[in-house]
Chains A and B, each alone.
Chain A
Amino acid sequence: KAGVTQTPRYLIKTRGQQVTLSCSPISGHRSVSWYQQTPGQGLQFLFEYFSETQRNKGNFPGRFSGRQFSNSRSEMNVSTLELGDSALYLCASSLSIQETQYFGPGTRLLVL
C-alpha cells in the first residue's frame, strides 16, 4: 500500500506570496493532520481533518488554513508568507481520529 504523499517536496516563495501544499493520505484513511517543523519551535500541530471537517486546530494565525476533500486528500494554504513560515510541513493520515498516524516525507518551504 502506498504511503502518504506530499507535493511539492520543495518550494521557494517570497514574502507576501501565498502557497498551497497538498497531501494524499494512505488509501482508506479518512483523517489527515498537518504539522509544522522548525529548528526553533520543533514540531507543532496545525490542524486535523476528518470526513471533510476540521476537528482540531493548533495555535497558528488565520493565515494558515486547510481543507479536506471528499476523497480525503487535503490541502493547506498559507497566505501572506513571512520569513518565519520557512519550515518542513508534515502531513499525517490515519484511518480515523482514534487511530495511529502515519507521516509523509514533508514539504520543505523556504520563504525569502
Chain B
Amino acid sequence: AQSVTQPDIHITVSEGASLELRCNYSYGATPYLFWYVQSPGQGLQLLLKYFSGDTLVQGIKGFEAEFKRSQSSFNLRKPSVHWSDAAEYFCAVGAGIGGYGGSQGNLIFGKGTKLSVKP
C-alpha cells in the first residue's frame, strides 16, 4: 500500500540556518510527489511538486526538494530559514491510477513536520 513517512514530528531551527525536512514514500509506480505548507488555521499551500524529469525541483518561497528514487525520498530544503517559515509541512504522494497521467485527486499525506523558528 502507498504510504508517506515524515520521521520528524517537530523541528526547531534558528533564523538564518539551513533546513531539511525528510520525507520517505512507498509507492509502486512512478510517484507524483508534493510538499504543502499549512499555517495555523489555514488551508494547504503548494510549495513544489515532482512528476518526472529533473530530480531537483524548485518551489516557492526559496524551497527546493530532491527526488531520490534509490532512497524513496523527497526531502525539502531551504538554505536560510525566515521566521515566517514557521508552519507545518506536509509531504504527499499522488495515489491515483499511478504513473504519468494518473489522478492527483487522491493524495496520501504524511503526518506532517511542525517547524519552529528561533529568533
Taking Cβ atoms with an 8 Å cutoff, the residues of A that contact B are 4, 31, 33, 35, 42-45, 48, 50, 55-56, 58, 90, 92, 94, 97-106
Contact = CB atoms under 8 A, between A and B. Distances in A.
Contacts, number: 67
Interface stretch (B19-27, B67-75, B105-113): B105-113
Given A42-B111, A98-B101, A100-B49, A48 B43 contact: no
Contacts of B43: 4, 90, 103-106
A43 B36 CA distance: 12
Task: Identify whether the interface residues of A are mostly helix, strand, loop, or mixed.
Answer: strand
Interface of B: 34, 36, 41-46, 49, 90, 92, 95-96, 101-112
Contacts of B107: 33, 35, 43, 45, 101
Task: Identify whether the interface residues of B are mostly helix, strand, loop, or mixed.
Answer: loop
